[in-house]
Amino acid sequence: MDLQALARAEGSLGIALSGGGAKGAFQVGAIHELVTVRGLDFGIIGGTSTGALQSIGLALDMVPELLDT
């Protein structure tokens, strides 16, 4: 599936990030891949616990800084 084509066709992509220490560490790498490497832009962002903190970084376009924490 071509996610960039889907984003253009649907108008917006959303992402929901979960809580939990190990999941949070995994999610940072996945966010980096999707945003920085693949160039996706999420119009809807949500999360709980550590995912909420990552959601803030994603919304503020601070993906590189998420990798440093």
Q: Smallest Cα–Cα separation from 15: which of 66, 36, 64, 48? A: 48
Condensed to tens digits (0 to 9), the pLDDT of residues 19-46 reads 888 888 888 889 989 988 888 888 889 9
Residue 7 in this model has a pLDDT that exceeds 90 = no
pTM: 0.72
Condensed to tens digits (0 to 9), the pLDDT of residues 54-64 reads 899 899 988 88
| Euclidean distance between CA atoms 64 and 66, whole angstroms | 5
